Amino acid sequence: MLQIKDVYASVEGKDILKGISLTVNAGEVHAIMGPNGAGKSTLASIIAGKEEFELTKGEITINDEDITELGAEERAHKGVFLSFQYPVEIPGVSVTNFIKTAINENRKAKGLEDMPASEMLKKIKEKADLLEIDRKFLSRSLNVGFSGGEKKRNEIFQMAMLEPKLAILDETDSGLDIDALKVVANGVNKLKNKDNAVIIITHYQRLLDYIVPDFVHVIMDGKIVKSGTKQLAYELEEKGYDWIKEELV
């Protein structure tokens, strides 16, 4: 599904990613861990195609198609979903209206008509039921006065509605309480299937108590310095990141 080949990237002239290679297959959940400032969010942004970040070398493909030159919106239309680290508040626009617009934008880009209202309603109901989201929540203004858990619920609901091929969840926000973590974990567990893939970026091992990743990668100073199974996450929790640093010396 996703192939990152020897990617180097910079922000404002500063080199951040220094040769990242990663393959994510359909049906897999990958966790990316690493200390603050290691380049985790930069990696997420470079996959999603955010324009502040410049890919200086390497290639990113999705289902064998080179997306390196595509903008963020085009990548979204190809099924790449990046969670928002800083959700915007939009008074007067409900959770449902926001996602309706996003879905129809997506369809427009593919040359399709708007989704018929009845189909949209059915889908909203189905996904809300799956994620145990109540109707009142769906009519609230986007992110206005949302708690940490509600912001996550909204994000997971959007992901459920958009059905991305590749979802990247950047959970670096240390403000996440246990309820918010559970919302994310529960959503990912319900939405993952053999045709999609998830990359979860997290500073803390805690989230991985609820989502079992197939692979764990550790980024330090812009490079993947270690990959393994979920066992690696436990080792990191026990020994911290310094242990890997020492191993590298």
Ligand X SMILES: Nc1ncnc2c1ncn2[C@@H]1O[C@H](COP(=O)(O)OP(=O)(O)O)[C@@H](O)[C@H]1O
The residue ranges that bind ligand X (CB under 6 A) are 11-12, 14, 16, 34, 36-42, 52, 172
Name the residue nearer to ligand X (CB basis): 36 or 139.
36
Residue 224 site contact among Mg ion, ligand X, none (CB < 5 to 8 Å, cut-off depends on kind): none
Q: How far is CA 122 from CA 119, 222, 232, in A?
A: 5, 44, 41
Q: What span, in angstroms and rounded, lies between the C-alpha atoms of 244 and 249? A: 9
Burial pattern 85-94, b for ≥16 Cβ within 10 A else e, equals: eeeeeeeeeb
Residue 39 site contact among Mg ion, ligand X, none (CB < 5 to 8 Å, cut-off depends on kind): ligand X
Q: Shortest Cβ distance from residue 219 to ligand X (Å)?
A: 7
Name the residue nearer to ligand X (CB basis): 59 or 221.
221
Name the residue nearer to ligand X (CB basis): 214 or 221.
221
Q: Shortest Cβ distance from residue 144 to Mg ion (Å)?
A: 25
Whether the CB-CB separation of 84 and 155 falls below 8 Å is answered with yes
Question: What is the per-residue DSSP string for 64-119?
Answer: TEE-TT--HHHHHHTTEEE--SSPPPEEEEEHHHHHHHHHHHHHHHTTPPPPPHHH
Q: Shortest Cβ distance from residue 202 to ligand X (Å)?
A: 10
11 membership: H or E segment, kind and range: strand 2-11
Q: Shortest Cβ distance from residue 39 to Mg ion (Å)?
A: 8
Name the residue nearer to ligand X (CB basis): 53 or 157.
53
Tell me which residues touch Mg ion (CB under 5 A).
40-41, 172
Q: Shortest Cβ distance from residue 95 to Mg ion (Å)?
A: 25
Name the residue nearer to ligand X (CB basis): 55 or 120.
55
**Parallel, antiparallel or unpaired: strands 141-142 and 90-94:** antiparallel
